[in-house]
Structure 1
Amino acid sequence: MPEPLKNLLHETLVGDMADRIAANAPSFDRDRFVTLATDGLGSLELMKRSALIRDALFATLPDNFTKAAAILKASLPTAGRPGLSGWMLLPVNQFIAARGPDHFDLGLDLLKALTPHFTAEFGIRSFIHRDQERALAIISGWTGDPDQHVRRLASEGSRPRLPWAMRLPQLVKDPAPILPILTALIDDPEDYVRRSVANSLNDIAKDHPDLVAAFIADHIEDASAERRRLLKHASRTLLKNGHARALANFGFGAAASLECELRLQNAEVVFGEGLDFEIRVRNAGEAPQSLMIDYAIHHVKGDGSLSPKVFKCKTIMLAPGQSHAIERRHAIRPITTRRYYPGQHRIAILVNGAESASESFILRMPSPDPR
C-alpha cells in the first residue's frame, strides 16, 4: 500500500527545517519551533500538519514580514549548501499566503524565489484573490523567465480550480485575464510548463466550454505536434462530454452511416471483478470516418439514480465498409473516489461524443465473510 501523503511532513523533516532556518537567523528559537510544530503532528492529515508547522513559523519568525521574508529567502538552497526545499516549503507557502499580501511585491518576489525548490502555486493564490489585476500584471512578466519553474508558476498558480488550493472565484467566473498568460506559454520548450497550460485550460472548460473550444480552434491551425498534444489534453473534459466544436477541432464530426454493436461477456459482475465487453463498429458510409470511441459506465447511486463516468477507449480511422473490433475489461474494484452500490448499472458506447449502443448489467456485492 502506498505511503500516506500525510507522512511527507514528519518530525525529522521539522527538525531539518529548523536547522536550515537557524543557520541563517541566529536569533531563531529552534527548539520552540520544533516543539510547536510537532505537538500532535502525528494525529493530523497532510494539510493540517502543514498548518501546524505554519503556525510554528508565525510564533518564531519576526512579526515584521520584511525581516521574516529575508530569513526565509536566505534559508533557500544555494550552490553547495542545503536549505529549505521539497515538502518543507508547503507550510512556508501557507505562511507567505497569510502574511505576504500586505507586502505585495515582496511576497510575490519571495514566492518566485521559492518555486524552483518546490512550488509556490499554493501561496500565490491569496495574492491573486487580494488584488487580481496587480498580481496578474506581475505574474504575466514571469512567462519569459529563464527558469521553467517560474514560468510554470505563472500558469499553475493562476488556475481557477487548482486541486488542494483555494479556488479563485473571479477567474472561475471570468477567465479572460489569464488567457494571455496561457497564450504566451502555449509553445514553451518544457513539457512540464505546457502540461500546466493544458490543465489550466481544462479547468476553464468546466465552466466555459465554448470559450475553450474557441481558444483551441484559434490555436490549432498549423500547430506543431507538441502544441497539438497540449490542445488535445486541454480539451479532454470537452471531448469526454461530446462538445461538438471541441470534437470538430480534432476532426471528429458526427458519425454518419455507422453501425455499432456492444456485446457483454458477463451480464452480472461481482464487486472486485470486472465487466468484459466487446465493441464492433462498421463504417457503412461512402467516405472514411475518423472515430473517437469512448465508453461510459452509468453507476447506481445511493438514491437509485445513475451517474455516468466516461473512460477513454480508442481512436481509429475507418475506410468505407471497414469494420473494427475492440475487447475491453473494465475493473470494478474499491477506489477512494467512489462508493459502489449493487443493482442495475449501464454501459454506453460513445462514438464522437454520441451514444451509439448500450447494455445493462447487474453489480452484485460479495456476501459478508461469515467468520
Structure 2
Amino acid sequence: MEPFKNLINRDTVARTGQHLRRAWPRFDHKRFAAQAATGLEDLEFKARAMQLADALEATLPADFNAACEVLETSLAPALAIDAQGEPMKLGEAADTGVAGWALWAVGEFVARRGVLDAAAAQRGLACLHAITQRFTAEFAIRPIIQKHPALSFDTLSQWLNDPSAHVRRLVSEGSRPRLPWGLRLQSLVVDPTPTLPLLRALQDDSSSYVRRSVANHLNDIAKDHPDLVAGWVRDHLIDAPDARSALLRHASRGLIKQGHAPTMAAWGLASGLKGDASLTLSAPRASVGGDMGLRVRLRSTARQPQLLVVDYAVHHVRANGSASPKVFKGWKLTLAPGEERMLEKRHSLKPVTTRTLYPGTHVIDLRVNGVALAEAAFELRA
C-alpha cells in the first residue's frame, strides 16, 4: 500500500506551482518548487504540508488580500454533491486548478495570515469559504475561531443558509471542540454554548454530509458535558423525522456505550435486562493478529418486550500491566417476553494505529443497556 505521506509529493508541488502561475503570472514558481520540494521524501505527511505552506508564504504577495485573490483564482471547480447529499470523491484535478491534498497547505497559509488582525480574519474566512468547497477548511478555520471568536461566529451564522453543503458542514465541523487532528478549541471544550444555535439550525439539514458532522460535534460535546447532550437528545427526539433520529442516535453513541443514565432514559433504555445473560468465548487463548469469538445468551423473564442495546468492553492490558477498557458496539434488539436469544460475534485482535495490543489476561464484560452483566477472560499472546 502506498504510504499516506505520498499524497503530497513532487507532482503535487509542480501542479500547484503551475496553477498559481496561471492565476498570477508574476508568481515565482521556480522558487516555490525549490523550497517546497527540498527533502520532501524524508518528511512525514504533516511536515510535507507545512513545508508547502512555508513555500507559499515565501512566494505569494505580501498583501494578504492580494494573496487570497491569487489562491481563489487558482482553485479547481468546487466538488459536486451527489443526490444523497454526499461529496464526490476528492481528486487532484491536475488540469483544472489547485485541488486535493495541496489545499491542506493552502489552508495552513490562510490560517497563519488570517489570525493577525480582524481585517485579516475576515478576508481569511472568505478564502476558506472557497477552499472548503474543494477540499476542507475544518483545520484551517480553527486558529481564526480561537483568535477572533466573535467575528468567526458571526460569519458562521451567516453561512448557515449557504447553498453549498461544503460550507454548511464547515460551520459544524470547523467549530467542533475536539476535532481529531485539529487544534483543540479549549474555550468551547469548557463552554460549548456558542455552537449550540448553529447545531440546532443544521441538525435537519438536507445533506447527510452536514448532519453527520452535527452528530460528531454533539458527540464531542458529550465528552465534557454529557448531561447537556442527553437533554438535547431528549428534547429534539420529540416528533423527530427519521433523519434527525439517526443523527441523534449517532451523537449519543459514546454516552450509550458508557451507560450514561439520562441518555439511556432518553432512548427508552433506562431499564436493565429483566432476565439473565451469559458470555462465553470461543477459546481460552488467542494471538495478536487473530480474533476471538463471542457467544452471548440472553433470556427474558419480563412480561413485556424489552428494547436492548448489547455492547461489550475489552479490558486491554497496557504496557505497565494495568488494564484499560474499550467499549465496542454489539447488537440492538427487542427481546420478546420469555424469549431466549443467542448472539455471536468475532472480535478482531489485529493491531491498529490507535492502540497497541500487549500480551496478558484480557477481560471482556458484557453490557446490556449500559449495565455489566457477565464477563469472561482470555490470554493474549504475542
TM-score w.r.t. length of structure 2? 0.93
Partner SS, residue 248 of structure 2: helix
Question: In 2, are the aligned partners of 1:255 and 1:289 still within 8 Å (CA)?
Answer: no
Cα deviation code 1:154-174 (max 9, x no counterpart) = 001111111111110101110
Q: Report Cα offsets for 1:83-105 as digits up to 9, x if no partner.
A: 11111211010000000123121
Q: How far does residue 266 in structure 1 lie from its aligned partner after superposition?
A: 0.8
The 2-side partners of 1:196 and 1:19 are apart by: 34
In 1: Cα distance, 2:365 partner to 2:273 partner: 18
- How far apart in 1 are the matches of 2:69 and 2:280? 66
Please state how far the C-alpha of 1:282 moved relative to its aligned partner: 0.7
Q: Tell me the residue number matched to 1:54.
A: 53
Question: Deviation string for 1:49-71 (max 9, x for gaps)?
Answer: 00000000011011111111111
Q: Where does residue 357 of structure 2 map in the other structure?
A: 340
Distance 2:370 2:4 in 1: 36
**Number of matched residues?**
364
Residue 27 of structure 1: CA displacement?
1.1
Counterpart code for 2:107: N
Correspondent of 1:354 among 361, 367, 371 = 371
Pairwise CA distance, 1:78: 4.7
Range 72-81 or range 349-358, more displaced: 72-81
CA distance in 2, matches of 1:5, 1:119: 18
**What's 1:110 paired with?**
127
Following superposition of structure 1 onto structure 2, how do residues 125-204 of structure 1 map, counting pairs within 5 Å?
125-204=142-221
| Residue pair 2:160, 2:202 contacting (<8 A) in 1 also | yes
Q: Post-superposition shift, 1:325?
A: 0.4
Other-structure match for 2:88 = none
1:97 is aligned with what amino acid? A
Q: Secondary structure at the match of 1:23?
A: helix
Aligned-partner Cα distance in 2 for 1:303–1:251: 40
TM-score if structure 1 supplies the norm length?
0.95
Once the two structures are superposed, residues 199-243 of structure 1 have per-residue CA deviations (whole angstroms, 9 ceiling, x without a partner) of 111111111111111111111111111100000001111111111
The structural deviation recorded for 1:265 is: 2.2
Task: Name the stretch that deviates more: 276-285 or 70-79.
Answer: 70-79
Correspondence for 2:281: 264
The superposition leaves residues 330-362 of structure 1 with CA deviations (integer Å, 9 ceiling, x where unpaired) of: 121222222222221101000000001001211
- Cα contact 2:273–2:369 (8 A) shared by 1: no
Where 1:116 maps in the other structure, the secondary structure is coil
1:368 aligns to what? none
**Corresponding residue for 2:97?**
83
Gaps of 5+ in 1: 366-371
Structure-to-structure mapping, 1:262-341, within 5 angstroms: 262-341=279-358
Does the CA contact (< 8 Å) of 1:120 and 1:153 recur in 2? yes
Q: Provide the C-alpha distance between the structure 1 equivalents of 2:284 and 2:149, rounded to a whole number of angstroms.
A: 54
Residues in 1 aligned to 2:242 and 2:44: alpha-carbon distance in whole angstroms: 41
Task: Give the Å deviation of 1:250.
Answer: 1.6
Assess, with a 3 A threshold, how the Cα gap between structure 1 residues 100 and 340 changes in structure 2: closer, same or farther: same
Query: Could you say which residue in structure 2 is the equivalent of 1:369?
Result: none
- The equivalent of 2:43 in structure 1 is 44
Aligned 8 A contact 1:73 1:110 in 2: yes
User: Structure 2 CA distance, aligned partners of 1:54 and 1:357?
Assistant: 53
Match 1:97 to one of 88, 100, 111 = 111
- Retained in 2: the 8 A contact 1:239–1:247? yes
Question: What's the offset of the Cα at 1:286?
Answer: 2.0
Aligned 8 A contact 2:273 2:368 in 1: no
Q: CA deviation at 1:256?
A: 4.2
Which stretch has the larger CA shift, 16-25 or 255-264?
255-264
Q: Percent identity?
A: 47
**Alignment RMSD:** 1.4
What is the one-letter code of the residue matched to 2:374? A
Q: Which runs of 5+ in 2 are unaligned?
A: 79-92
1:83 maps to amino acid: G
